[in-house]
C-alpha cells in the first residue's frame, strides 16, 4: 500500500508519495502563501497530492491515506487544527476541508511528532518501539513515539519538550515561563550566550567570523569556533551541552525511551555535538549500571516530515 | 476472574485478593524482615497469598495471576529485580522464585507505577487512558499510565518523575545530580526549607509546634501552620507549591495526560494543597485556551499498592 505525506510549513508545502518502508516514490513542493484563506492553501495541497500520485506513476486507488504534519497543535480525533501560529490558523477544520477535494482518510499530527515517527520507521531509530525526537532549531520541538506510534498526549498538547522547565527562575521564555529547555538547547540559546560571551571576550574568533558584528552570530559560527578550540566559543558550547544534557536526563528519567534522536539545525554539527552530549549525559544517569536510551543523530533530514506524515496512516 | 496483589515494602508485605473492578475481597500483612535471604521473603509472600485466597473464600483455581509492586526497578520482561535499595536486593529472579511456590503467572512492576495504575482503574483517574501519579513523600515517586497500561519505559528505569531536573544547579539530590524535582516537591524539601526559615524567623509558629527543636519539624507541622496563616510557614509552603507546579508543568508539556494524581504523605494536606497547586499551575500552562490535565488527589490510599499490583494481570 502507498501513502501520501504532506509537510505543511509556514513557507512551503512539501508532498510525497511514500511506501510502507518509508521510501519516497515522488516528491514536490509549492509555496504556502499563508496570507490566503486556509481553503485556498488546502486546495493547493490537494492539487499537489494529485500531481505527486501521477509523478509516482501510480493511481489514486493505490493510496491508503493522506497524512499531514502541521507546525502547531492538532486534534487528531476531530481533524481540527486549534492553533497554528506559524500559519495564523485558528480552529481550522483541516480534515473536513481536505476531504472536500480527495476522498481518502486524512490524518493530522504535529510536525516534530511526525518527523520523530519517521525516524522510528525509516531512520536512525528504525525498529524501536519507543523514541523521543528532539529538534534543535530556532526553538526546540519534540516527537514522542510510544508502543511504535506517535504520542501527542490526551489533548494534543503534549510532546512540547522544549517547554519542560529545566531551570526554575532561569532564562525568560517566549511561552511566558522561565527556564524552559528551549532556552538552553536551541540555536537561539547559543546565539544569546555567544553575544554575552563576546561582550566580555571581544578577542574571540567568533567576532572575526561574524565580521565584528555580534548581530550576525549564528549557531554554526559558534560551534565551528568551538571545534577549532576558541576558548570563548568552547565555553558557550559547553554551557549549551550542559543544558541539552539536563533536558535529556529528564526525558530518560521520565520516559526511558530506547533512543533519543537529535535533529534540527544544531544537529548538523554532527559527531562533535553527539560526542559532547553523550559525554555530558553519562555521569547524570540515575541507574548507573542499567542500560538507558541511546543518543543518536537524525538520519532522514528534510524528508522526515513527508515520510512521517505519510506513515501516520500505516 | 480474581487476582492476587502484593505490595512489597521495606517493612511489611501486604497481600490482597482483588476482583476485576479493583475491589479487595481479603487482605493481610506480614513483616518483610528484609535482612533474610530473598528466598525466605518470597516463601512468606507465597504463604500469605495462599492464606488470603482462603480468607476470601475462593480457590487457587479462581486466581488468574499474581502481581507484585516493588520499591525499586523491575524488568517486567524477565521478571528479575535488578535493584531494590530498600530491600537490599540485587539481581533477584523474583518471578522464577515465586513460581517455585505457586504455579501462576507473576507480574512485577515498580510500586509507584502500580499505585498509579490502581487509581486509573479503581480510583480518582478511573476510566482514563493516560495519567501520571506523583507520590509526594520522603522522596517523589511516579507512576505513568499510557493507553490504559502502566508505562515504565524501555529499560524499566522510567517514571522516575522525582528525578526530572527542574532547577539546573539547584539543590543537591541523593541521586548525585542537582535540582531534581524531588528536592522541591517532597516532604523532605518542606522540612529543609522550614529549618532554614525558622533560623531566620524563630518567632514562627513552626517553632512552637516542634517544641523549639527544628529537628522535630515535619511536613504536617509546616502545612498546618501555613493553613493557620503563619507567615514563615506560608513562605515555605508557597515555595513548595512553586516547585511542585513547575514539575507538573513539565509533565503536562511532555506527556499531556488526562489526569495528574497527587498521592503520598504530603497529599494528606487535602484541598489546601490541591487548591494551591491548581492555582499555581494555571498561569504556567502553555496553550492557555486548550484543555489540559486535571489535577486531583489520590483516593485509594494505602490499598493502591495491592490493587494496582493485582490488576497488572488484567
Enter the ipTM: 0.94
Q: Pick from A73, A165, A254: which is nearest to B158 by CB?
A: A254
User: Chain B residue with minimal CA distance to A174?
Assistant: B286
Query: Rounded CA gap, B278 and B159, in Å?
Result: 22
HSE of B226 in the Cβ direction (CA atoms, 13 Å)? 22
Contact A168 B164 (CB under 8 A): no
pLDDT higher than 90, residue B157: no
Task: Give dist(CA B258, CA B280) in Å, integer.
Answer: 18
Give me the numbers of helices (H) and strands (E) for chain A, helices first please. Answer: 10, 13
Question: Which phi and psi angles does B169 have, rounded to 5°?
Answer: 70, 15
The 10s digit of each residue's pLDDT in B213-249 is 999 999 999 999 999 999 999 999 999 999 999 999 9
Residue with cell 559532547: A276
Q: Is residue B86 pLDDT above 90, yes or no?
A: no
Q: Chain A residue with minimal CA distance to B75?
A: A290
Cβ separation of B253 and A160 shorter than 8 Å?
yes
Coil, helix or strand at residue B132 = strand
pTM of the predicted model as reported, rounded to 2 decimal places: 0.94
Q: Which of residues 245-264 of B touch A (CB under 8 A)?
A: 246-247, 249-258
Name the residue among A159, A177, A290 with its Cβ closest to that of B284: A177
CB atoms within 10 A of CB B40: 11
CB pairs under 8 A between A and B: 172
**Interface residue of B120, B146, B168 to substitute, partner A, most A CBs within 10 Å:** B168
B32 to chain A, any CB pair closer than 8 A? The answer is no
3-class state of residue A257 by DSSP: coil
pLDDT in tens, B244-294: 999 999 999 999 999 999 999 999 999 999 999 999 999 999 988 889 999
Per-residue pLDDT at B220 = 97
pLDDT the model gives residue A264:
94
Cell reading at A114:
511526525
* B242 neighbourhood in chain A, CB within 8 Å: 168
CA-nearest of B63, B68, B80, B72 to B117 is B68
Chain centre distance of CA A5: 16
Answer for the pair B153, B130: CB distance below 8 angstroms, yes or no: no
* pLDDT tens digits, one per residue of B46-69: 999 999 999 999 999 999 999 999
Q: Which cell numbers in the block locate residue B111?
A: 510500586
Q: Round to whole Å and give the CA distance between B278 and B260.
A: 11
- Hey, which residues 122-141 in chain B have their CB within 8 Å of chain A? 128-130
Residue whose C-alpha is closest to residue A243's, from A310, A124, A162: A162
Residue-level pLDDT at B287? 86
Measured between CA atoms, how close is B100 to chain A, in angstroms? 27
Residue numbers in A near B151 (CB within 8 A): 146
pLDDT in tens, chain A (314 residues): 999 999 999 999 999 999 999 999 999 999 999 999 999 999 999 999 999 999 999 999 999 999 999 988 888 888 999 888 889 899 999 999 999 999 999 999 999 999 999 999 999 999 999 999 999 999 999 999 999 999 999 998 899 999 999 999 999 999 999 999 999 999 999 999 999 999 999 999 999 999 999 999 999 999 999 999 999 999 999 999 999 999 999 999 999 999 999 999 999 999 999 999 999 999 999 988 889 999 999 999 999 999 999 999 99
Q: B152–A253: do the CB atoms touch at under 8 Å?
A: no
| Rounded-to-10 torsion of CA B182, B185, B188, B189 | 100
- pLDDT for the residue numbered A62: 97
The pLDDT, as a whole number, for residue B72 is 86
Phi, psi of A312 (to 5 degrees): -55, -30
**How far apart, in whole angstroms, are the C-alpha atoms of residue B163 and residue A253?**
6
CB of A152 less than 8 A from some CB of B: yes
Q: What is the pLDDT of residue A304?
A: 96
Query: Do the Cβ atoms of A198 and A233 come closer than 8 Å?
Result: no
In this prediction, residue B80 carries a pLDDT of 93
Residues of B in contact with A153 (CB under 8 A): 130, 255-257
H/E stretch holding B262 = strand B259-263
SS3 A24: strand
Alpha-carbon gap: B199 to the closest alpha carbon of chain A (Å): 24
Asked if A284 contacts A245 with a C-beta cutoff of 8 angstroms, the reply is: yes
A258 contacts on B by Cβ (under 8 Å): 154-155
Give which of B165, B167, B239, B242 to mutate to test A binding, by max A Cβ within 10 Å: B165
pLDDT at B73 over 90: no
- Which residue does chain B place closest to A177, by CA atoms? B284
Rounded to the nearest angstrom, the minimum Cα separation between B174 and chain A is 10
Cell of B288: 492557555
d(C-alpha A4, C-alpha A52), whole Å? 9
Amino acid at each position: 500500500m502507498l501513502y501520501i505525506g504532506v509537510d505543511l510549513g509556514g513557507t512551503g508545502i512539501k508532498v510525497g508519495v511514500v511506501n510502507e518502508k518509508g521510501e519516497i516514490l515522488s516528491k514536490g513542493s509549492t509555496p504556502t502563501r499563508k496570507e490566503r484563506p486556509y481553503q485556498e492553501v488546502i486546495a493547493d495541497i490537494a492539487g499537489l497530492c494529485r500531481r505527486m500520485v501521477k509523478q509516482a506513476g501510480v493511481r489514486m486507488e493505490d493510496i491508503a491515506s493522506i497524512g499531514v504534519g502541521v507546525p502547531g497543535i492538532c486534534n487528531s480525533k476531530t481533524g481540527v487544527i486549534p492553533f497554528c501560529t506559524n500559519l495564523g490558523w485558528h480552529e481550522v477544520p483541516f480534515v473536513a476541508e481536505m476531504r472536500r477535494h480527495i476522498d481518502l482518510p486524512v490524518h493530522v499530527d504535529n510536525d516534530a511528532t511526525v518527523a520523530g515517527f519517521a525516524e522510528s520507521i525509516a531512520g536512525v531509530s528504525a525498529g524501536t518501539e519507543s523514541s523521543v525526537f528532539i529538534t534543535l532549531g530556532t526553538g526546540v520541538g519534540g516527537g514522542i513515539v510510544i508502543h511504535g506510534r506517535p504520542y501527542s498526549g490526551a489533548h494534543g498538547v503534549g510532546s512540547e519538550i522544549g517547554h519542560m522547565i529545566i531551570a526554575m527562575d532561569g532564562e525568560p521564555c517566549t511561552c511566558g515561563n522561565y527556564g524552559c529547555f528551549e532556552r538552553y538547547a536551541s540555536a537561539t540559546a547559543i546565539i544569546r550566550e555567544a553575544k554575552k560571551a563576546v561582550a566580555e571576550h571581544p578577542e574571540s574568533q567568533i567576532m572575526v567570523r561574524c565580521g565584528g558584528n555580534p548581530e550576525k552570530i549564528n549557531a554554526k559560527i559558534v560551534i565551528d569556533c568551538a571545534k577549532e578550540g576558541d576558548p570563548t566559543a568552547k565555553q558557550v558550547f559547553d554551557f549549551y551541552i550542559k543544558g541539552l544534557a539536563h533536558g535529556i536526563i529528564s526525558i530518560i528519567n521520565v520516559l526511558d525511551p530506547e533512543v533519543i534522536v537529535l535533529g534540527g539545525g544544531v544537529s548538523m554539527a554532527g559527531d562533535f555535538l553527539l560526542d559532547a552530549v553523550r559525554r555530558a549525559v553519562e555521569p547524570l544517569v540515575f541507574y548507573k549500571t542499567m542500560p538507558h536510551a541511546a543518543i543518536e543523530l537524525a538520519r532522514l533530514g528534510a524528508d522526515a516530515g513527508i515520510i512521517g506524515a505519510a506513515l501516520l496512516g500505516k
